[in-house]
Structure 1
Amino acid sequence: MTQHFLLSAEARSLSLAKVARLSDEEAWEAFKMVRWSETEGEPFCPRCGCAGLYTYSKRKLWECKACKHQFSVTSGTIFASRKLPIRDILLAIAIFVNSAKGHSALQLSRDLDVQYRTAFVLSHKIREALAETADRSLEGHVEVDGAYFGGYAKPANHKENRRDRRLVANQTGKRRCVVVMREREGSCLPFVFGSEDEATKVIGKHVLPGSTIYADEAACWDVLHARYLTKRINHSECYSDGEACTNQAESFFSRLRRAEIGTHHHISGRYLHAYAAEMAWREDNRRIDNGELYLMATFAALKHPVSRQWKGYWQRSA
């Protein structure tokens, strides 16, 4: 019997213990190598690109000889204005990517011995950096499907007082729909809407002409026949019919649902897009070893600019 990739030795190339044992100097050097990988770790000014720098002896800072800009290894990145040691940030990234179904902020706060707020913002900064790598167009054979998350309406205690929770009038209004477009044997592209029928315009923008769309029997996908060769599957009769199926889209939803139920227990509609993008990244890279995932996430974070959503988040939202 063929062994699953995640059970093989090739899937394990990252040791959390080694990351946790890094000294401050080793962690700083690792950050340098990742951020300025194109110059083999030699820093240059993030504003003007000048390689002529003054080095401060007391603090780990540089000053550009051309524009006089002072910067550190995290200046201008999503980790700018950090308070955590660099080693703790590297450990947080390693823990984050090592979890197949995601990692909750509460668990990360315990792992790092930091406040929940710190872990919450740090996790979302990593998610934002990963989501930035997923904005692309899809082509070829593309599966489209939607699933609803959140907005749970608790049934009344007595049976005679219960209402049909499928009706809009009896819902909380917080229910959101994640619609995913997924290339067969390719990447996922998720979006969040109020309902499935809002997704058709976005599908037209991100799926290139000439592609083949695979969708279920929902009436909202009927308009796709005008632009694409569209093959449908009626899930009330079977889950696949030859080529017509949405099994790979359902695989993405399975991962997102497991993250919601088993890891986070609740995902706010306000942040649902971030969790969906994270799960799309995990699904796209599920056959890559954890050491490579760690480098990919670190590189994405250090190439991402300062987050306008998460920098100073608690000062705005406390």
Structure 2
Amino acid sequence: MSVARMSEEEARATFQAIRWADNNGKPYCPRCGCADAYHLAARQVWKCKGCAHQYSVTSGSIFSSRKLPVRDILLAIAIFVNGAKGHSALQLSRDLDVQYKTAFVLAHKIRQALADEDLRDMVGGEDAHVEIDGAFFGGYIKPSNYKENRRDRRLARNQNGKRRCVVIMRERKGRTLPFVFKSEDAGLAAIRQHVAPGSIVHADEASHWDVLEARFLTKRINHSQAYSDDGACTNQAESFFSRLRRAEIGIHHHVAGPYLAAYANEMAWREDNRRLSNGEQYLIATNAALVHPKSAIWAGYWQRHKEAA
């Protein structure tokens, strides 16, 4: 991997070229936008001639106030992108030789940048096909040791309250929008908000999807009889759930609670960009992270309680 062989100076130059690509790699102040600055080589920062603000290659970005070398940040993005089913924070901490908490926050910063970069307010459009479906993730409950003490863990009274439903809106040959709710029917308001009028909606036979027929041309599929019938299917939505399920079972093991939406958005990005080469995915992810402003959630020292709140 070429990033791993970079020196810190080469990594900083690459970081600078990608972040300020709109100005041919020449830095400008993140506070006032002035491109005229002094370079303080001893500290590897610039001092703006307009407002006297001192800034580095990461100032004002999602990696601001960093302690890691720039090369390690670029390497983390490359490693993160190369994971077909995701990359766990524990594995990332071993690859970078950093603490687990450092890798956890770094991975979530990358997820946030990718989710915001790939965000689209609407999917679908005139005669575009959009598949709607929901699936539950997280909230694993270990069964009792003795058979006589075991309960049906599918029932709400025997669950721990952490299980959440990911409702997906996936446009064929388009983007994927995931949202997290307590139940599948709670996603109806989001569907009305994010699916463009004129779309052709595909859904299963669940009764709560009936109200969609008043707003969209809707095709329904009964999965107990077939996976596809007369062009109606939700196979691409199921494909997304398969990727998220593989990530939950094989990579992360626990994706419940307030972080489920972050993992769902990551898998949506991976699914939408799966046909691109590793190099293209790396450039997209790096650019998204470097132009993203400072995170309100993952700023400061180990601020995971902000997300949990």
TM-score class, shorter-chain normalisation, is: over 0.9
Q: Distance in 2 between matches of 1:75 and 1:195?
A: 40
The residue that corresponds to 1:52 in the other structure is 36
Unmatched 5+ residue regions in structure 1? 1-15
SS of 1:231's equivalent?
Answer: strand
Give the letter aligned to residue 171 of structure 1. Answer: Q
Q: Within 2, Cα distance between the matches of 1:117 and 1:235? A: 42
Say yes or no: does 1:305 pair with 2:289: no
Return the offset for 1:260: 0.5
- Any residues of structure 2 matched to 1:140-155 within 5 Å, and which? 140-155=128-143
Partner SS, residue 63 of structure 1: strand
Aligned with 2:180: secondary structure? strand
Give % identity. Answer: 69
Match of 1:184 among 172, 192, 195: 172
The superposition leaves residues 257-312 of structure 1 with CA deviations (integer Å, 9 ceiling, x where unpaired) of 00000111111321000000000000000000000111111100011010111112
Q: Who is 1:138 aligned against?
A: 123
Shift of 1:66: 1.1
- Which stretches of structure 1, 4 residues or more, deviate above 4 A after TM superposition? 315-318
Q: Distance in 2 between matches of 1:134 and 1:224?
A: 26
Q: Look up the match of 1:79.
A: 63
8 Å contact from structure 1 (residues 134, 189) kept in 2 = no
- Asked whether 1:170 is paired with 2:155, we answer no
Secondary structure of the corresponding residue to residue 118 of structure 2: coil
Q: Helix, strand or coil for the counterpart of 2:302?
A: helix
Q: Give TM-score, length-normalised by structure 1.
A: 0.92
Of the candidates 60, 67, 78, which is equivalent to residue 94 of structure 1?
A: 78
- Structure 1 stretch displaced more, 186-195 or 154-163: 154-163
Residues paired across the two proteins, number: 302
Question: Which residue of 2 is the match for residue 248 of structure 1?
Answer: 236
Shift in Å, 1:154: 2.6
Give 3-state SS (helix, strand or coil) of 2:28's partner: coil
**Superimposed CA distance per residue, residues 96-130 of structure 1 (whole angstroms, 9 cap, x where no aligned partner):** 00110000000000001100000000000000000
Structure 2 Cα separation of the partners of residues 304 and 285 of structure 1: 19
Q: Deviations over 1:121-171 (max 9, x none)?
A: 000000000000232111111000000001122333333333222221111
Question: Counterpart amino acid of 1:77?
Answer: S
Q: In 2 relative to 1, CA 77–285 (structure 1 residues): closer, same or farther, beyond 3 Å?
A: same
Q: Which secondary structure state, in structure 2, belongs to the residue aligned with residue 121 of structure 1?
A: helix
Could you say which residue in structure 2 is the equivalent of 1:208?
A: 196
Structure 2 counterpart of 1:37, which letter?
A
Alignment pair present for 1:105 and 2:89: yes
Q: Which amino acid aligns with 2:194?
A: H
What is the CA-CA distance between 1:27 and the residue it aligns to? 0.2
Other-structure match for 1:13: none
Q: Does the aligned pair in 2 maintain the 1:78–1:307 contact within 8 Å?
A: yes
Aligned to 1:215, the other structure's residue is in SS state strand
Give the TM-score normalised by the residue count of structure 2.
0.95
